[in-house]
Amino acid sequence: MILLAPVYQPGERLPELVTDLRAAAPGLRVVVVDDGSSGPGPDRALDAARDLGCTVLRHETNRGKGVALRTGFRYVADTWPGEDVVCADADGQHTVTDILRVAERVPATGATVLGVRRLDGRMPARSRFGNVLTALLFRAATGCPVRDTQTGLRAYPAAELDWLLTIPGDRFEYEMAALLEATRAGHPIEQVTIATHYVRGNASSHFGSLADSVRVYRPLLRFAVSRLVGAVRSRWTSGATTAARSPQT
Q: What is the pLDDT of residues 22-42, one digit of tens each?
A: 999 999 999 999 999 999 999
Q: What is the mean pLDDT of residues 229-243?
A: 61
If pLDDT is split at 50, 70 and 90, which confidence band does 129 have? confident
pLDDT at 10 over 80: yes
pLDDT at 246 over 70: no
- How do the domains of the chain map onto residue ranges? 2-243
CATH number of 2-243: 3.90.550.10
Which residues on neighbouring strands pair with residue 74, listed in sequence order? none
The whole-number pLDDT of residue 112 equals 97
DSSP for 57-119, written as a single string: EEESS---HHHHHHHHHHHHHHHSTT--EEE--SSSSS-HHHHHHHHHHHHHH-SEEEEEEP-
CA distance 97 to 115: 11
pLDDT at 244 over 50: yes
Q: What is the pLDDT of residues 140-167, one digit of tens each?
A: 889 999 999 989 999 999 999 999 999 9
DSSP state of 1: -
The whole-number pLDDT of residue 201 equals 47
CA distance 29 to 48: 15
Which helix (H) or strand (E) segment holds residue 156: the answer is strand 154-156
The whole-number pLDDT of residue 98 equals 96
Q: Which residue has the higher pLDDT, 242 or 62?
A: 62
If pLDDT is split at 50, 70 and 90, which confidence band does 223 have? confident
Tell me the pTM: 0.82
Percentage of the chain modeled with pLDDT above 70: 81
Q: What is the pLDDT of residues 163-211, one digit of tens each?
A: 999 999 998 899 999 999 999 999 999 999 998 876 654 444 545 566 7
The whole-number pLDDT of residue 237 equals 66
If pLDDT is split at 50, 70 and 90, which confidence band does 131 have? confident
The whole-number pLDDT of residue 202 equals 45
pLDDT at 248 over 70: no
